[in-house]
Structure 1
Amino acid sequence: MTFEKSVAVFLLILVPLSIAADILDWGRNFGFIYAVLSIIPLSIGLSIATEKVAIFTGPTLGGLVNAIFGSATTLIIAFVALKEGLVDLVKASITGSILSDLLLFLGLAMLTGGIRYKEQEFQPILARVNGLSMTLGVIAIALPTLAINTSNLVDPKAIEQISVMVATVLIIVYGLTLLFSLKTHSYLYDVSVAIETESDALEGQKLTGIYHQLWLWIIVLLLMTMGVAFESELFIKDLDSVIDGFGFTPLFTGVILLPLISDVAGIVTVVRLALKNQMDLTVATATGDSLLITLFVAPLLILVGGRMNPGMDLDFNFFEVVAMAVAVTVTNLISFSGRSNWLDGTLLLATYFILGVSFFYHPV
C-alpha cells in the first residue's frame, strides 16, 4: 500500500467522528474541523478511484472520467455552498483553485524535486499548449468582469447572458482540448511514466477478473463521492460562524482555504511525481488541473449554478482577475523553458504567498 493510500485509510476514522460531532452537538468548531479533515481522506480516495477507473476505460473515456470526477470535490463543495447562498465564496474558490494549481502545486513540485535533483526537464510543448489554453480561459473569465466594471452595464439580465455565452464557449474549447490531447495530437502528450501502473498487470488477467476490479473501483468512486457530498453539507453548515470567529473574509476563505481542503490529493500527487523525477507528468497534472477548473468547472458552475442562484455569474472581484492574470503570467514565464529547479519552485510559492497575504487583508 502506498503512502498516499495509507494516509487516506488512517484518516477515514475522522468520518464517523464528524457524524458524531454533528449528532451529539459537540459545538460548531469541532463539527467544522472534523468535517474539513474528513474531506481530505475522501478526496484522496476519490482521486485514487478515478485513476483506477481511467486505467480500465482507456485514454479517451478515461479523460472524461478524470474530467467529471477529478474535480468532484471542488464541484460538490461549490454546489453545496451555492445552495446556502454563498455566491461570493464560490466565485472566490474558482480563483483559488486556479492559483493553487499553477503556483502552489507546481511550486511545491519544482521545489521538492529541485532539492533532490539539481535540475529537472520536461517537454516544453506540454507547458506551452496548456499555458496558452489557460491564458485564453483566464482572459475569457476576466473580460466580462472588465466589461461590467468599465461601463454602465448593471442590468442583471445582460450580465447573465454574457456569462452564459462565455461559459458555453469555454466548455466547447475544453471539449476541443480533450480532442486535441486524446485523439488528434495525443503523441504530444505521450509522456513516459516510471511509476508502476496496472495496465501491464491487466494483460495477463482474465476478462472476468478485469470487470470485477472495474466494478469494485466504480463502487469506491461512488461511495467516495457520496461521502464528500455528505461532509460538504456539514462543512458548509458551520462555515459562516467559524470563519467569522477566525476573522476570515469570504474572499480569503474561498481563494486560499477551500482549494487547500478540496485538493489535498493533488498536492500529494504532484510532489510524489516530482520526487520520482517525473516532471512531464507533474507539469501535465498541475497545468491540466488548472485548465479543467478554467474551461470546465467554472463554466459548469455558471450554467448550472446560475439556475440555483442568479448571482452566480462572471462578475468577479476585480482583484481576483488581477491575481489570475499574475498566476498565469508567472507560471508561463517559468515553465515555457522546459527546465526547472528549486529556485523556480520558490518563486512560484513566493508569488502564491504574496497573493495569499493580499487576499487576507483585502476588505471585500
Structure 2
Amino acid sequence: MTTKNIVSYGLLLFIPIAIVAERLEWGALTVFGLSAVAILPLAIWLSTATEELALVTGPTIGGLVNAVFGNATELIIALVALKSGLIDIVKASITGSILANTLLVLGLSMFVGGLRYKEQTFNQKVAGINGSTMGLAVTAVLIPALVINTSNIVEPGVIRQLSVVVAVVMIAVYALTLLFSLKTHSYLYDVGVSDHPHGEGESEDKPNLWLWVGVLLLATLGVAVMSEIFVGAVEEAAESLGLTPLFTGVILLPLVGGAAEYVTAVRMATKDNMDLAVSVAMGSSLLVALLVAPVLVIVGEIIDQPMDLNFGLFEVVAVAVAVATVNLISQDGRSNWLEGVLLLSTFALLGAAFFFHPV
C-alpha cells in the first residue's frame, strides 16, 4: 500500500468526526477545520478514480471524465457557497483556484522535481497553447471590470447580462479546447501514462471499471456532504480568525478544494514526468476559468443567486500577473528548482497582498 493510500484512508476518519462536530455544535472554527481535513482524502480519491477510469476507458473518454470530475471538489464547494448566498467568497475562490493552480501547484512541482533532477523538460507546444487560452480567460474576466470602470453609470442588470454572454462564450471555447486536445490534435497531448503500478498495456492488469465508478460516485457524494458543512462554517470561522471574505475565498478555499491537484502534480514531478505535472496544473486552471466560473454564473441565474463576472481590479491584475509569470517561465519547455521558487514566491507575495487588502 502506497503512502498516499495510507494517508487518504486515515484522513477518512475525519468525515464522521466532522459530521458529529456539526451536529453537536462544537463551534464554527472547529467544524471548519475538521470538515476541511475531511474533504482532502475525498478529493484525493476523486482524483485517483478519474485516473483509474482513464486507464480503462481510453484517452478520449478518460479525458472527458477528467474534464468533468477533475475539479469537481472546487465546483461543488463553490456551488454550495453560491446556494448559501456567499457570492463574494465564490468569486474570490475562482481567482484563488487559478492562482493556486498556476503558481502553487506548478511551483511545487518544479521545485520538488528540480530537487531530484537537475533539469526537467515538458511539451513546449502544449504549454504555449494553454498559456494563450489562459490569456483569453484573463480577457474574459477583465471585460466586465473594464465596462464598469470606463462608464459613468452601469446598471447591475447590464453587467449580469454581459456576464451571461461572456459565460456562454467561455463554455464554448472550453468545449472547443476539448475537441482540439482529445480529437483533432490529440497527438500533441500524448504526455505519457499515469503512474499506475501495473504494467502498461496489459489488459489483465486494467483496473476494475465498476469499482472505480463506485468510488467516483461515493467520493463525489462525500464531497457534497462535507462541502455543506464546510461552507456552513466558513464565514463565521473566517470572522473569528480576522480574515476577510476576499482572503478566505482566494487562499483558504482553493487550498482545500485543490488538494488532489497538488498531490497528483507533485507526484508526477518526482517521477520526472513534468508533462503530466504541467498538464494537471494548467489544465485545472483552464477548467476553472473557462468552465467552472461560467457555470456558476449560469447556475446563479437559475437558482436566483445572481453572480456576475465583475471581479475586483486587484483580482484581475493578480490573475494577469500569475498567467504572465507562468507563460514567461514555461516558454522554453524546461524547468528547475529555482523556477519553482520563483512561482512559489509570486504566490506568497500575492497571498500576503490579499491578506492585507482592505475590505
Q: TM-score with structure 1 length normalisation?
A: 0.95
Partner of 1:99: 99
For the 8 Å contact 1:194–1:278, the answer to whether it is kept is no
> Is 1:238 aligned to 2:226, yes or no?
no
What SS does the aligned partner of 1:244 have? helix
User: For residues 158-196 of structure 1, what are the alpha-carbon distances to aligned partners after superposition, in whole Å with 9 as ceiling and x for unaligned?
Assistant: 111111111111111111111111111111111234733
Partner of 1:33: 33
Partner of 1:264: 259
Structure 1 stretches of 4+ moved >6 Å: none
What SS does the aligned partner of 2:200 have? helix
- After TM superposition, the structure 1 = structure 2 runs for residues 148-297 of structure 1, keeping only pairs within 5 Å, are 148-193=148-193, 195-196=195-196, 200=200, 203-204=203-204, 213-297=208-292
User: For residues 22-48 of structure 1, what are the alpha-carbon distances to aligned partners after superposition, in whole Å with 9 as ceiling and x for unaligned?
Assistant: 222222222221111100111111111
Counterpart of 1:41 in structure 2: which amino acid?
Answer: P
For the 8 Å contact 1:145–1:316, the answer to whether it is kept is yes
Question: Distance between the aligned counterparts of 2:161 and 2:260, measured in 1?
Answer: 35
Kindly state the Cα deviation for residue 309 of structure 1 after the two structures are TM-superposed.
Answer: 4.2
Between 324-333 and 159-168, report the one with greater CA deviation: 159-168
Between 308-317 and 249-258, report the one with greater CA deviation: 308-317
For the 8 Å contact 2:82–2:305, the answer to whether it is kept is no
What SS does the aligned partner of 2:162 have? helix
For the 8 Å contact 1:85–1:309, the answer to whether it is kept is no
Partner of 1:115: 115
User: For residues 81-111 of structure 1, what are the alpha-carbon distances to aligned partners after superposition, in whole Å with 9 as ceiling and x for unaligned?
Assistant: 1111100000000000000000000001111
Counterpart of 2:129 in structure 1: which amino acid?
Answer: V
> Is 1:330 aligned to 2:325, yes or no?
yes
Partner of 2:301: 306
Question: Distance between the aligned counterparts of 1:310 and 1:41, measured in 2?
Answer: 30
Partner of 2:354: 359
Unaligned runs of 5+ in 2: none
Question: Distance between the aligned counterparts of 1:69 and 1:119, measured in 2?
Answer: 32
Q: Percent of aligned positions with the same letter in both sequences? A: 56
Partner of 1:339: 334
Kindly state the Cα deviation for residue 306 of structure 1 after the two structures are TM-superposed.
Answer: 3.0
Question: Distance between the aligned counterparts of 1:199 and 1:251, measured in 2?
Answer: 46
For the 8 Å contact 1:126–1:280, the answer to whether it is kept is no
What number of residue pairs does the alignment pair up? 359
Question: Distance between the aligned counterparts of 1:216 and 1:235, measured in 2?
Answer: 28
CA shift in 2, pair 1:201/1:20, >3 Å: farther
For the 8 Å contact 2:83–2:305, the answer to whether it is kept is no
What SS does the aligned partner of 2:326 have? helix
Question: Distance between the aligned counterparts of 1:199 and 1:294, measured in 2?
Answer: 36
Report the RMSD for the aligned CA atoms in angstroms: 1.6
Kindly state the Cα deviation for residue 7 of structure 1 after the two structures are TM-superposed.
Answer: 1.1
What SS does the aligned partner of 1:200 have? coil
Question: Distance between the aligned counterparts of 2:228 and 2:50, measured in 1?
Answer: 22
Kindly state the Cα deviation for residue 360 of structure 1 after the two structures are TM-superposed.
Answer: 0.4
Partner of 1:68: 68
CA shift in 2, pair 1:325/1:309, >3 Å: farther
Question: Distance between the aligned counterparts of 2:90 and 2:32, measured in 1?
Answer: 18
Partner of 1:9: 9
Question: Distance between the aligned counterparts of 1:266 and 1:167, measured in 2?
Answer: 24
Question: Distance between the aligned counterparts of 1:144 and 1:310, measured in 2?
Answer: 18
